[in-house]
Structure 1
Amino acid sequence: MSPSNSRTALITGATAGIGLELARQLAARGTDIVLVARNEERLGEVALQLTQEFGVRTEVIAADLTDRAALEVVEERLADAYRPVDLLVNNAGFGLKGRFLDNTVEQEQAHLDVLVVAPMRLTHAALGPMVERGSGQIVNVSSVAGYLPRGTYSAAKAYVTRFSEWAHNEYKPQGVHVMALCPGFVRTEFHERMEVGRDSAPDFLWLDAEEFVRAALADLDAGKAISVPTLRYKAIVTGAKYVPGGLLQRFQSMGRR
């Protein structure tokens, strides 16, 4: 088992995709992991795997982040001064395949709750103890979509990126590092759950999850406020600033087919 003075990370959406890979790479560093996801059985399986493979302590919280009562349980864990969380990763998320009017307002509300409300509330819960201790890290998983016109997903991710950048500058003097992590297309279950095929975007845009997370943690170690993977996505983000929004919007179906 890991020593009692080891770091602890709390990761939402930790049983699949980027969240699972982050849990694995952080555990490999000796970080204890608090896993948050909806599926209690899957949480137990991942927790056991991490403990057996890396010898770290694990804890699980089964929570649907669209449920305010369940979200409050996670907030309370983050605010617990006797069991400090050194790193919060707001990773939970999902996409809606349809365009705005193809979705019900309830679907859009759940989308907003997971992508915006949950990261905001969990960041608020974590920041207090971190500022009091004078140390801590928060990673909010955003998306390069936040720089592009792609409906409410894009709008939500734009919020996450700007909120994180502001929080980084606001609380860095008090010892807390906040980073927006902006993936593009990553080979995970995210698009499969949307029933979107890998052929929905060109091959060169798809990233390997292990390499992506390794680069993300390197940016976190370097103290960056925003992490954008690979030169190709950095170029897309830079170029998007100079391309008219109407032209960019023509490509909004990419990654949704």
Structure 2
Amino acid sequence: MTHRALVTGATSGIGLAFAQELGKRGYDLVIVARTTDRLESVAADIRDRSGVEVDVVTADLSTDQGMQVASNALTDTTRPVDLLVNNAGASLAGWFGTTDIADEDRQLDLLVRAPMHLMDAAIKTMAGRGGGQIINVASVAAFTPRGVYSAHKAWLVNLSRWADVHYDDVNISVQALCPGFVRTEFHQRGEMDVSGVPRWMWLKADKVVTASLADLARDKAVSVPSARYKVLAALARHLPAPFVTRMAKRGR
């Protein structure tokens, strides 16, 4: 039986790596992003390489209309989605309190409201037909006090962990994927200076994706790719809070 996956933010970075890898594994795809031309280019490439069906959905997930368009693809029972990958994201260069609050509102919509709405649509649809899987791309930043971005990701991790337990009886698995620094367009788009990040802290998007899918197969609710980030995440989650706070201050 052919499976079908919907991937948001699928034209670059982790989202693109998910779309490519899932295509290789025989999934038909629905890919979602803001730019139609880039979506069509990605879709054509995956069709040529993997021979799967790829549908394109142009949507800005920071808007109500965009969220609804993507949700409609998840609730289409004629072409059911077995796996949702909530990946679309962005970040702001400045710290909360110095940024434009309208930009923070858009970030809240993109990083919190959009995955919540898409999870809602997916869970309600998947529960009625025997189950499914959801991957929410969060971050190891979720485990440290690092501004609004880390707060958004902490919210997503907690919702994912709860949903994985709560909907287990209807065969729905939910994973929070928590990578560290990944070589993508993410930091460049956010105009963030990452020149001081050591080489050893950088991950490759394709490796992040294969680790996530392996953990999903093992029903792991939280996936932290690479041994080095597993150690850092464990320290952040289990060391005394004052120590973690001091470490976060050093990275400001």
TM-score in same-fold range (> 0.5) = yes
The 1-side partners of 2:95 and 2:159 are apart by 25
Identify the residue that residue 103 of structure 2 maps to in structure 1.
107
Among 73, 76, 79, which residue is 2:72 paired with?
76
TM-superposed CA distance for 1:232, in Å, is: 1.0
The 1-side partners of 2:31 and 2:11 are apart by 8
SS at match of 2:195: helix
The reply to whether residue 192 of structure 1 matches residue 188 of structure 2 is yes
1:107-256 alignment to 2 at 5 Å?
Answer: 107-240=103-236, 241-243=238-240, 244=242, 245-253=244-252
1:27-46 alignment to 2 at 5 Å?
Answer: 27-46=23-42
TM-superposed CA distance for 1:106, in Å, is: 0.4
The 2-side partners of 1:251 and 1:125 are apart by 40
Superposed CA offset, 1:173-202 (max 9, x none): 111111000010011111111223442311
The letter for the 1-side match of 2:248 is: Q
SS at match of 1:134: coil
SS at match of 2:81: coil
The 1-side partners of 2:15 and 2:250 are apart by 27
SS at match of 1:85: coil
TM-superposed CA distance for 1:133, in Å, is: 1.1
SS at match of 2:84: strand
The letter for the 2-side match of 1:13 is: G
The letter for the 2-side match of 1:180 is: A
SS at match of 2:167: helix
SS at match of 2:97: helix
Does the 8 A contact of 1:149 with 1:248 survive in 2?
A: no
User: Could you state the TM-score of these two structures normalised by the residue count of structure 1?
Assistant: 0.94
Superposed CA offset, 1:193-244 (max 9, x none): 1223442311111111111211111111111111011111111111113142
Does the 8 A contact of 2:92 with 2:191 survive in 1?
A: no
Identify the residue that residue 88 of structure 1 maps to in structure 2.
84
Does the 8 A contact of 2:15 with 2:87 survive in 1?
A: yes
The letter for the 2-side match of 1:47 is: A
SS at match of 1:199: coil
The 2-side partners of 1:171 and 1:198 are apart by 39
Identity %: 46
The letter for the 1-side match of 2:9 is: G
Instruction: Kindly report the root-mean-square deviation, in angstroms, between the aligned alpha carbons of the 2 structures.
Output: 1.1
Which runs of 5 or more residues in structure 2 are unaligned? Answer: none
SS at match of 1:9: strand
Aligned residues: 249
Superposed CA offset, 1:66-101 (max 9, x none): 110121111111111111000000000001110012
Which runs of 5 or more residues in structure 1 are unaligned? Answer: none
Superposed CA offset, 1:90-141 (max 9, x none): 0000011100122111000000100000000000001011111122000000
The 1-side partners of 2:186 and 2:245 are apart by 27
Identify the residue that residue 47 of structure 1 maps to in structure 2.
43
The 2-side partners of 1:251 and 1:161 are apart by 24
Which 4+ stretches in 1 moved above 6 angstroms? none
The 1-side partners of 2:89 and 2:186 are apart by 8
The 2-side partners of 1:118 and 1:200 are apart by 31
